[in-house]
Structure 1
Amino acid sequence: MDNIFLFLREKAKKNPKSIILPEGEDKRIQEAVKFIVKEKMAKVILFDKKGNLGGLFKDVGNEDFLKIIELKDEVMERYANLYFELRKKKGISLDIARRIVRENPVFMAGLMVREKEADGFVAGACTSTSDVARAAIHCMKREGETPTVMGAFIILVPDCPYGENGLFVFADCGVIPLPTTEQLAEIAIEAADFTKDILGILPRVALLSYSTKGSSKGENIEKIIKALEIVKKKRRDILIDGEFQVDAAIVPEVAGIKSPHSPVAGKANVLIFPNLEAGNCGYKLVQRLAKARAVGPILLGLEKPASDLSRGCNVEDVIDAVAITVIRAQRSN
């Protein structure tokens, strides 16, 4: 699966969608935009806080694939009013709405997607995950009856025999600090569907823990077991099992000892972490120690696609997050 990101980029090019990048002042974003526009991967809407970005893209070509919006007062006022109307029942005043939208244009990006002025957004290069997630949750509609918004990562580990030849999906690594049993089940379902629909591979989902199939007892273990039961009841088509320690989930030799009869043990390619601490630490350890690619957190559970970026992202991460957001927009449209 070494070429998975090339595959996703090519898939995005087949039907480019309009994607907002609200952090136009970030140099990594600017470099990514040049590539995306040149390759006609997405129709980029770039926010310009200071009104000085136009000259950076004169030689890129493909003018129809780039729209720069200067964040003038009259523009911001319109979206501040939209945000106020959405959130006034939560106690937000118009003045507070103005401050939020002006200080964090990611909220304007979310509102534009809600208003169908764009198909999705990608942000986070210089905005915290909590702010990106809050903008998406407050401004965009949830998907169907799903009450949970979560963050998934695509992880590609070089020279790795585990998962899907080194390809994994990790969740939730970005949004929910302490998921309930029901939320844990929703995280597993959303991550499985994302793996199948966007990556085109059969998801084999492992619910992770410090225990493997009853080797330890405790309240947290019981929560995972109940989450497993919920998924199996709701979605019999999903191949899922747990609870597993990481080695039992992905290493066939260990699985043969700890859980020899599981259809998932030793073969998992979707790893569901018990809480945000574990998920966030887990993906960053793999990213830094194994020199893995980690793209995300991709926000799942929304009606329209949005993706966060780590503030430690590079240009390639931005390009690939946009490609994934385009493909998800292709499906949602």
Structure 2
Amino acid sequence: MSANTNIIQQIRERASKQNKTIVFPESSDSRVLQATVFLIQNQICNVQLIGSNREIADIAHRSGVVLPDEISYLNSNTVQDKDELIDYLYQRRKHKGVTKDEAMQALNDPLYLGATLVATNRADGCVAGSMATTGDVIRAAIHSIGLRQGNNTVSSTFLMALEGQPPLTYADCGVVPYPDVEQLADIAIESARTHKLLTREESKVAMLSFSTKGSAQHERTELVVKATKRIQQKAPQLTVDGELQFDAAFVPEIAQRKAPGSPIKGQGNVFVFPNLDAGNIAYKITERLAGASATGPILQGLAKPMMDLSRGCHWQDIVNAACVAILMGE
């Protein structure tokens, strides 16, 4: 069994024991319907599809997908306690000038309806993005669900599985282009939490740079140093070090030479990149040259789970996102 198969299988098995409900706003996507069938048949979770029963049935028929009877269907006209959902969204957004009528209109958007169902505990997680943009998914999540207490940044990770070694977490690879000190600290703290939730391993967070412990002086390295200090203030229990070059964070022998006092000791498993350029390039290089399998992007920093998908995803990726959403709610 490959490293990736192992960690994904573990995540699926753990998710299946939770008896959770995942809502899918993009029910007109045949990949979502395929994922739904797998989730139901393998008893991983309950499923809510947002949309018209008849339209979903037509899409399934044209796609050769046989939908199980256990699926729940809903839309903005049929959802229960709609007035409560409208009032919830209104109360969250009225400080921005949103009226009740505008809150009602927002719930006609499946992304907002799905996110609001999660926010009000009518579902345990929402998975979208196979058709919608990342920006639209995050906007609905922030407006409806909001951020986790103590965190001010939505970011993303990829869970990287390489043959013969434990999985690694890379961040941020998909959301924040050039994080400032506070954002970088938030990304690191949330990534450590994500890594532990998904792998059950203690997180060792390496704040990466082109410099190790002052070997180069630059405003970009100083940003990483300041972010590391901020993390130590906000989450003193976390094992974190920076600034570190990747080899000093990953290879114990090199860590001993370059950063002998590092608490990471060359055994980092959460790698926080200084910007989106570095993070996105690194995860794709690791995937293509090292043969790693990347699970993600995994949205983090929200008060409750809402996952974003790549629009080029396979149905298996949607299954995995649903399972990750379940574990992210633990």
Normalising to structure 1: TM-score of the pair? 0.85
**Pairing 1:44–2:77 present:** no
Partner in structure 1 of residue 202 of structure 2: 202
Partner in structure 1 of residue 175 of structure 2: 175
Contact 2:155 / 2:176 at 8 angstroms: preserved in 1? yes
CA deviation string 1:157-187 (max 9, x = no partner): 2x25xxxx15111122222222221221121
Shift of residue 71, structure 1, vs aligned partner: 5.6
2:150 aligns to what SS in structure 1? coil
* Structure 1: gaps spanning 5 or more residues: none
- Cα separation, partners in 2 of 1:142 and 1:155, compared to 1, 3 Å: same
- Cα separation, partners in 2 of 1:251 and 1:88, compared to 1, 3 Å: same
Q: Out of 260-269 and 89-98, give the one that drifted further.
A: 89-98
Partner in structure 2 of residue 269 of structure 1: 269
1:134 aligns to what SS in structure 2? helix
Partner in structure 2 of residue 222 of structure 1: 222
Partner in structure 1 of residue 95 of structure 2: 89
- Cα separation, partners in 2 of 1:37 and 1:183, compared to 1, 3 Å: same
CA deviation string 1:95-148 (max 9, x = no partner): 76566554x421211111122211111111112112111111111032223222
Partner in structure 2 of residue 54 of structure 1: 57
Q: 2:7 aligns with which of 4, 7, 11?
A: 4
**Pairing 1:306–2:311 present:** no
**Pairing 1:110–2:115 present:** yes
**Pairing 1:148–2:173 present:** no
* Structure 2: gaps spanning 5 or more residues: none
- Cα separation, partners in 2 of 1:204 and 1:145, compared to 1, 3 Å: closer
- Cα separation, partners in 2 of 1:105 and 1:193, compared to 1, 3 Å: same
Shift of residue 7, structure 1, vs aligned partner: 0.8
Shift of residue 301, structure 1, vs aligned partner: 2.0
Aligned length: 322
Percent identity over the alignment is 37
2:137 aligns to what SS in structure 1? helix
2: CA distance, partners of 1:292 / 1:80:
44
- Cα separation, partners in 2 of 1:278 and 1:80, compared to 1, 3 Å: farther
Q: Out of 246-255 and 11-20, give the one that drifted further.
A: 246-255
Shift of residue 84, structure 1, vs aligned partner: 4.9
Contact 2:33 / 2:67 at 8 angstroms: preserved in 1? no
Q: Report the RMSD for the aligned CA atoms in angstroms.
A: 2.8
Shift of residue 319, structure 1, vs aligned partner: 1.1
